[in-house]
Structures are given as C-alpha cells and as structure tokens.
C-alpha cells in the first residue's frame, strides 16, 4: 500500500520560514501531479501549491511569491518551502498526489487520489 508521509512543519514566528517535505513509499510509477493543501478546523481544505510531472509549479494567490513548491531529491517526493510566514498560514498541511493519467483541476481536492496524514504548521509570536 502506498503511503504519503509528510515531514517538517512545526512552529515559526511571523516572517519566519519552514520547510515541508513529502515522499511516497512503495510507489514506482510517476505521479501526474503532487501538491499541498491546508485546512483549519471548520473550514474546507484549501489548495496551496502543486508540482506537475514535468516540474511546473502552481500556487494559490494567498501564497504566491512566499512559498516555493518543487520536486524533492527522490522520486515521487515534493517539498514546500514557506517564507514570510503569516499567522493566517497556520493550518494542518496535507500532501496529495494523483496517480491517474490526467489531472483536471490542480486546485481541487477531488483531483488527487492519495493523501498524507497531515502535519501541523503554526505561525505565532
């Protein structure tokens, strides 16, 4: 069974930085896209960023120019470098991947068929 495992996260000061990583275990094919979502209690899961099979990154307006998503050093991994963090970035961050041939909407949770357990990011003074 394939698992997505997130690492990194934790507590940061406003204006600070954190880095998240995600890797898929026991999956030898390539994902069409890997991405990051975040969620706070009582709210819908929000798309943050995605990286296509070819390495093209896309971002939500809320994190554009602050976050950088990229493939990791190992196959089927994705990193998220978060800079200039704001308190409103506080959330549980989820790694997601689509193993199917085509991704219709990279910002829709329904486009992804694999999910990590989530990792907490807290931005507070």
The per-residue DSSP string of 25-53 comes to ES--S--SEEEEEEE-TTS--EEEEEEET
Q: Which residues contact 122 (CB under 8 A, 6 or more apart)?
A: 10, 11, 12, 90
1-48: pLDDT as tens digits: 668 999 999 999 999 999 999 999 777 778 999 999 999 999 999 999
pLDDT at position 47: 98
pLDDT at position 73: 87
Instruction: Give the pLDDT band (50/70/90) at residue 116.
Output: very high
* Torsional class of 104: left (φ above 0), alpha (ψ -120 to 50), beta (otherwise): alpha
58-107: pLDDT as tens digits: 999 999 999 999 999 888 999 999 999 999 999 999 999 998 888 889 99
Length, in residues, of the chain: 125
pLDDT at position 43: 96
For residue 63, what is the DSSP state?
T
Distance CA 36, CA 21 (A): 10
Q: Is beta strand 18-25 parallel, antiparallel or unpaired with respect to 77-82?
A: antiparallel
pLDDT at position 104: 87
φ, ψ of residue 20 in degrees (nearest 5): -110, 145
């Amino acid at each position: 069974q394939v698992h997505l495992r997130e690492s990194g996260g934790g507590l940061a000061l406003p204006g600070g930085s954190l880095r998240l990583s995600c890797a898929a275990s026991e999956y030898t094919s390539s994902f069409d896209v890997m991405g990051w979502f975040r969620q706070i209690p009582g709210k819908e899961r929000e798309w943050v960023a995605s990286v296509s099979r070819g390495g093209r990154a896309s971002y939500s307006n809320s994190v554009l120019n602050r976050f950088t998503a990229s493939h990791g050093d190992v196959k089927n991994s994705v990193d998220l470098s978060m800079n200039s963090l704001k308190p409103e970035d506080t959330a549980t961050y989820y790694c997601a991947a689509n193993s199917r041939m085509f991704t219709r909407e990279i910002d829709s949770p329904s486009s992804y068929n694999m999910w990590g357990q989530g990792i907490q990011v807290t931005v507070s003074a």
